[in-house]
Amino acid sequence: MYSRQIRKLVLVTALASAAGAQPVAAADDWYPSRWGKDDTLGAVNLITADSVAAAARLVKTGKRYALGMEVSRDTPAFGSRTVETFVVSNGAIFNNAGEPIGQGKVTGNDDWGLVFFGVGTQIDGLGHVGIDHTYYNGTDIHDFYHQSGLKKFSTSDIPPIVTRGVLIDVLGYLQATAPDKVMTVDGHAMLKPEVAINQAAIEGALARQGIALAKGDVVLLNTGYMALADSDAVRYMAAQPGLGKAGALYLAGFDPVAVGGETFGLEIQPGEVADVYLPVHQELLAKRGIYILENIVTRELAADQAWEFMFVLGQARLKGTVQMIINPVALR
């Protein structure tokens, strides 16, 4: 235990001295959670009956937006992640003879798959990324990890997320104020891959849109970069614009339930500091219990200037899962 505390102290000292890092008062100051030492849900605790009702009042036109991308074996994905779908037809389900059954001559199909749940549009659960094997609320890896499924932090335990959604149009803001940070590929404008989204761009975009963030929001970032996935998947995966650490800390100050973007990792890839990997994931998931949403389809929201809306997510409830493929919905 003593050596573990020393390792944490060394880690905190290193983070505090890194460029742009904020000083941390003590080694364990990010846990226990403000919702109690046994909490496993994190920022979803911010959603209340009143906030759900307030989100519902944002629906004025009845227009629906699917925020999830279609997923297949060709979907660009991190590392070796993939999806394979298999269809079993007719008699293989019912009688193994391939013949219609009964007087109604019923036939049918079934399907199964080999699926990484971190492909396409997805939610990262609180068991996804930690700091030196310590995860949200100071939970040691040995307290929840099992090869057959997580014993805590399963995405199946996340309650329905129904709250106000906010789109921050970083692309539109930088097109107007810093066009050198924008490129065009096949007629689609998008941020250049080296662009880190930090406080100034977030503040500027919100001011331009005339909107403010509030506690319990789901915050989505529009960068235009998903368009590249359709034309050049290799380039799309090689490097991506995204949230920088300072930007993540700034957004975290508003107490969002989740932060999402169009790319496979939300944060800028490669990172801002050499040999510092996934600092935004660590700040949001591990330290604050703020969920991360990746590969969110924002282009239609941006085209309609739908800056705020009712956000609805009810993910598939597969027990023990670290991540889950999702299709959240925006209503306005």
pLDDT tens-digit series, residues 96-109: 666 787 898 888 88
**pLDDT tens sequence across 34-91:** 999 999 999 999 999 999 999 999 999 999 999 999 998 888 888 888 899 988 876 5
What pLDDT score was predicted for residue 24?
31
In the chain, which residues fall in CATH 3.50.30.50? 31-80+117-331
Lowest mean pLDDT among 114-118, 151-155, 263-267: 114-118
Quickly list DSSP for 255-277. Answer: --SEEEESSSSSB-BS-SSTT--
DSSP, collapsed to helix, strand or coil, labels residue 239 as coil
pLDDT, average across residues 157-183: 98
Q: Which CATH superfamily is domain 31-80+117-331 in?
A: Putative cyclase (3.50.30.50)
305 Cα distance to chain centroid: 21
What pLDDT score was predicted for residue 16?
35
What pLDDT score was predicted for residue 97?
60
pLDDT, average across residues 117-132: 96
At 53, which amino acid appears? A
pTM for the model stands at: 0.89
Question: How far is the C-alpha of 93 from the C-alpha of 88, rounded, in Å?
Answer: 7
Question: Nearest-CA neighbor of 7 among 21, 28, 22?
Answer: 28
CA dihedral sign, ordered 265, 270, 276, 279? negative
211 neighbors 254 (Cβ within 8 angstroms): no
Higher pLDDT, 11 or 58: 58
Instruction: Return all residues near 156 (Cβ < 8 A) that are at least 6 apart.
Output: 315, 316, 317, 318, 319, 320, 321, 324
